[in-house]
Structure 1
Amino acid sequence: MAEMTLHTELPADMTDTRGLPGVQPEHGPWLRVDEAYAAQIARRIALLDDVPEQVLYLETASQGAAQELLHEALNIMPTLGFTVEGAQVTCPDGRKVDVSSTAPLEALGRCLQNDFVMMEKRGDEHVLTGAVLCFPASWSLAEKAGRPLSDIHIPVDEYTENVARRVQRLFDGVQVGRPLWRFNQLWYQDAELHQPRSATAPLRVGSNLPDGPFYRSERQTLLRLPLSRAVIFVVHTYVLARADVPELR
């Protein structure tokens, strides 16, 4: 299945390398459907069916924010080839999902290619309060759930104390209706989308393996929900074979 999930190209604006945090205004859609939809959604459904405890998390107090996120997504989905009739969603591959009988983050995970990570302000920092994370890039949702930004990025070498302060200011400044985005770049030994890794495990994949045959890039859009004020990471994962990777500037 891994080969079937490959993309053959990147969006043009994802070939210009920028340093951390590398954020700019998002002028395109924050939800996307592309040529890898069928294969990626099949992998997502398998994970949601087989290992939901690994890919879903939601604090009880954040149920309202999760429902708000689903509502925002439902408003956009008809522009992406979905049919939304009340609580019934018909997906681009013909599947029907009843979002009224499915938990909101799981419903999003069964409809869309994107992963969604909810961050809410708790004291001085934003905390991970909910997620549907089927395609982690070498981190573990179980280890990061309920933790603040400063802990989530440990032990990323590039994530210095200065960068941490800048990222927290960025989260504080995200405005409703004005999403931001960034992307990362990693090389992997295989094309598997589900790549969880404990923070205590050796790093076997990633940017320190530039000879890897597969290039993986996440388009991470940050948006603020208008009612709950939660900040959402919307992550669209691209995986390309080395031969298809454009020249990166």
Structure 2
Amino acid sequence: MILQKSIPHNPLETVKLPGIKPLDLKDWLVPDDAFAGQMSCRDALLTEQRAQVLQMDPGALAPAQELLQMVLDHRYPGQGDQVHRPDGVTVDIDWQDPLATLGLISQEDFCILERREGSDEHVLTGAVLCFPASWTLSEKFMRPLIAIHDTVDSYDGGMASRVQRLFDGVQVGRPLWRFNALWYQSSDLHAPRSVQDRRDTSHGKDAPFMRSEKQSILRLPVSRAVVFSIHTFMVHKDDVMAQWGETDAVV
């Protein structure tokens, strides 16, 4: 069981969707007390289940390499062809396999979305997604935003237009972020669900674990692709309540 003891944002705060806020770039990628445990899990998933957690269109190689350079500059400045993670593991930098490298050096998952010529929406052209929360990467790969969210009840036509405007408007050097939060019966970080599977209705305030994702949105300056990064927090209910108290959660 891999758990954090705290969450840096209040996951119980009532926020009007989509709940977007400006993000200081220094707060984009921040390791926490579950770093070693989460990275060990990521290592295993990328070794044993790579096809389930990594997908990339060949045309997304350049944006993925650009993102890798940005993450290296942000988290591992000056470390060269290898990086030394805070948990003591050394990782070789593979520029021909940038998403896998990202999955091995960062606690966050990363999705690359591009609005290619002739498309009205951004499309998911690459992702390393070790910790999916009730969705499956293979079912969303190379699909546009509205199709990615087709199982989200609140994602109607109006919300789709707002999110597409958000992705069109995010500016280089001015990242954004939001969070979601949901009580879970299981603490599993790797929790995919196919669109064909019945939705699990056992979650609720009586469940013992809070899963909250810090979701960041930024634009790459050269390729102009949009990066959607996800930092997953899994915290026991007792620790959530000790930190933030009794409030209504937002999903």
After TM superposition, the score normalised by the length of structure 1 is 0.92
Aligned length: 241
> Is 1:53 matched up with 2:77?
no
The aligned counterpart of 2:195 is 199
1:83-105, Cα deviation, whole Å (9 max, x unpaired)? 74211111111111111366111
Q: In the alignment, does 2:226 pair up with 1:222?
A: no
- Report the counterpart of residue 239 of structure 2 in structure 1: 244
Structure 1 segments unaligned to the other structure (5+ residues): none
Could you list the structure 1 runs, at least 4 aligned residues long, displaced by more than 6 angstroms after superposition.
none
Distance 2:225 2:163 in 1: 15
Contact 2:53/2:137 (8 A) holds in 1: yes
User: How far does residue 56 in structure 1 lie from its aligned partner after superposition?
Assistant: 0.3
Higher mean C-alpha deviation, range 180-189 or range 14-23: 14-23
Equivalent residue in structure 1 for 2:167, among 166, 171, 179 = 171
Q: For structure 1, which segment, 21-30 or 33-42, has the greater mean C-alpha deviation from structure 2 after superposition?
A: 21-30
TM-score by length of 2: 0.92
Residue segments in structure 2 that go unaligned for 5+ positions in a row: none
Q: Which moved more, 1:102-111 or 1:43-52?
A: 102-111
Tell me the residue number matched to 1:117: 111
The separation in 2 between residues aligned to 1:52 and 1:93, in whole angstroms, is 22
Aligned: 1:107 with 2:106:
no
Q: Percent identity?
A: 49
The question of whether the paired residues in 1 share the 8 Å contact of 2:11 and 2:181 is answered with no
| Cross-structure match for 1:24 | 21
Cα distance in 1 for residues equivalent to 2:115 and 2:174: 18
Deviation of residue 210 (structure 1)? 2.6
Shift of 1:19: 2.3
Distance 1:234 1:161, change over 3 A: same
Counterpart amino acid of 2:59? A
Who is 2:124 aligned against? 128
User: 8 Å contact 1:189–1:205 — kept in the other structure?
Assistant: no
1:8 Cα shift?
1.1
Q: Deviations along 1:156-187, whole A, 9 cap, x unmatched?
A: 11111101100000000000000000000111
1:11 counterpart letter in structure 2: P
